[in-house]
Amino acid sequence: MKKQLIAAAVAGAFVLPAMAQNVEIYGVLDAGIVSVDLPVDTAANGGAKGNALGTLPPGAIAAGTANNKGTVFGHSALNSSRWGIRGSEDLGGGLRTVFSFEGDVELHHGTLHSSGIFRRAAWVGIASGRLGEVSLGLRLNPLIATNGALMPVAGNIVSTLTGAAVGYNDFFTKNAITYTSPNMGGLVVQLQQGFSQDTGSSSDGSMRAGSAAYSNGPLTVRAAMQQREGTTSTTAAGANAGTTATVDSKAWIAGAQFKVTPQLTIGAAYHTNVIKTLAGATLYDLGATQIGVGYQLSPTMLLGAVRTTGEQSTMTNMQLRYTLSKRTFAYVTHNMVDNSSTMAFAPVGFSSSTTTAAVDGCQGGACGILSAKQSATAIGLSHNF
């Protein structure tokens, strides 16, 4: 109720017309301290691998040194820090108008994201409890939403880093029409089309994606795919860093979770992405498998671990989450990676504001890196409102 009153005050400040609406401000805040140990190979990559850091600000760790260690401020290790406003209006006959717009919260310096204040969501739609929901505008990709839900205990430090290494971190779909089905006996389906906005070509820059989730008692099964055509891709790390190419790509993921006991949940998943030239030649054909476990040690303490393996690279994540209230939990997470020259996992969780070289786009021979073991430990606090 308080959030609705605040949202009403915000609406008044923007001189919006008064309507019979349900409007809510919501958000997530996640921040902590990160300790990194990044021994990098210097002979062939000039420290490029050690710069695949994710949450560290530019210059925090020097490239090309033999043993980079440091403790820094980080945010969004588990949950992306964000805020938004969402709402609905009852149209009668079981129909509602629904909307949402959402942006990042940059906790380390308080500025806006360089990609826009509402880069995460900006859409309006019509919803029916019987028929589902159709929305128009910028919205989260169904593939990314599925990726984040595959493991019993995950977060950005698992899901985002896996998507980046496999090369499908296309988080938000612009110019999109999205359909979400109602719950049909445990099955929920989402379909999305992102338009190219090129009147000369219906495929140049277009995107199609879909997901399905089925829950029945202790079992949950998820699958998703996306196909992008005429996408401009930039290599972010390695020997070909900064080079761009227009490519087609097709990615899909599938996984399942099973609640063995009320305390113990296990999960397994597979990720794949094939990137081709416009002429049809395969550039990268990447795959990764995941296994994970979550154990509710007590009503307030959750333990979890996830191991991801792909193209001779591995990432092992361990977590402890301690519930402080319904909306707040503290966490400790430790990530260990061992990368090959084919695919690279970053050891540090996602932060949307940094510009350090990332592993996104570092696939196949473009990585230009040598095998090295790296690790990071984060202690943080996550609160939602």
For residue 93, count CB atoms less than 10 angstroms from its CB and return exposed for 0-12, middle for 13-18, buried for 19 or more. exposed
Cite the DSSP H helix spans in 258-339: none
Q: With contact defined as beta carbons under 8 Å apart, do 249 and 281 qualify? A: no
Say if CB 213 and CB 256 are below 8 A apart: no
Which has the closest alpha carbon to 340: 316, 365, 308, 375? 365
Q: Which of 37-51, 192-206, 252-266, 336-350 has the highest mean predicted lDDT (pLDDT)?
A: 252-266
Rounded to 5 degrees, φ, ψ at 360 are -60, 120
Q: What is the pLDDT of residue 361?
A: 34
pLDDT (0 to 100) of residue 58: 33
Least confident range from 18-22, 138-142, 165-169: namely 18-22
pLDDT, tens digit, 9 for 90 and up, residues 316-342: 999 999 999 999 999 999 999 888 767
* Per-residue model confidence as pLDDT tens digits over 119-136: 999 999 999 999 999 999
Output the CA angle 352-23-10, nearest 5 degrees: 75
Across 305-324, average pLDDT: 95
Q: What average pLDDT does this structure show over 23-28? A: 96
Judged against a pLDDT cut of 70, whether residue 202 lies above it is answered with: no
Judge whether 288 and 308 are in contact, CB under 8 Å. yes
Which pLDDT tens digit goes with each residue over 76-125?
899 999 999 999 999 999 999 999 999 999 888 887 777 889 999 999 99
CB 193 within 8 A of CB 176: yes
pLDDT at 317: 97
At 255-289, the pLDDT tens digits run 999 999 999 999 999 999 988 888 778 888 889 99
The tokens 């950005």 sit on which residue? 156
Label residue 64 exposed, middle or buried (CB < 10 Å: 0-12, 13-18, 19+).
middle
pLDDT for the residue numbered 67: 55
Q: How far apart (Å, rounded) are the C-alpha atoms in residues 150 and 290?
A: 9
pLDDT level of residue 49 (50, 70, 90 thresholds): very low
Of 87, 102, 104, 112, which Cα lies nearest the Cα of 29?
104
Fold of 24-384: Porin (2.40.160)
Parse the chain into domains and list their residue ranges. Answer: 24-384
Residue at token pair 């993921």: 253
188 backbone dihedrals φ, ψ, rounded to 5°: -125, 130
| Of the listed ranges 127-136, 290-299, 370-379, the one predicted with least confidence | 370-379
Q: Is the pLDDT of residue 60 over 50?
A: no
Question: Cα(363)–Cα(374) distance, rounded to whole angstroms?
Answer: 18
pLDDT at 28 over 70: yes
Residue 6 host element (H or E): helix 2-13
Please, are residues 361 and 243 in contact by the beta-carbon 8 Å criterion?
A: no
Dihedral sign for Cα atoms in the order 163, 317, 270, 224:
negative
- How far is the C-alpha of 293 from the C-alpha of 131, rounded, in Å? 35
